Amino acid sequence: MKNFSVLKNESGFTLVQAVFILVVLAVLGVAMMRLSGIQSSTSIFALQGARAYQAARSGLDWGASRASIGSCSTGSSFAIGGFSISVDCSSQSFNEGSGPYDVYTIKSTATFGSYGSPDYVSRRLEMKVGFP
């Protein structure tokens, strides 16, 4: 006959191993899900940042077209695709060799969402253009 007393003392050891493996697998699963969520939100934020940049760029184009006809004003604002765009313009006159010319400083800020919210994004661009 075999001695079964050794096996009686070790009963439950496999249960401890199984519980440990389940806990480790659960932690790994949660970590992978969080990593996947972070990766997804990072690409969304990058896309929103690119959209904000292009919206601010359109504000610069609008300001330059207004400056070319001499009606560049400060505090203009408009909206495109959910982005709020504000355009500020200032000018300086210079008188050099070939005659007087104006240099316009145009600042465009595009924002989406409200400051402090998770979906908030803002881009600010500035350019100078000169017209004789």
- Check pLDDT > 80 for residue 2: no
Lowest mean pLDDT of 2-11, 79-88, 97-106, name the range: 2-11
Overall pTM > 0.75: no
Give residue limits of the domains in the chain: 5-131
Question: Looking at residue 4, what is its pLDDT?
Answer: 53
Kindly state the average pLDDT of the residues 44-71: 91
Q: Determine the pLDDT at residue 3.
A: 56
How far apart CA 39 and CA 7 sit, in angstroms, is: 49
Q: How high does pLDDT run on average in the chain?
A: 84
Instruction: Say yes or no to pLDDT of 5 above 70.
Output: no
What local confidence, expressed as pLDDT, does residue 110 receive? 96
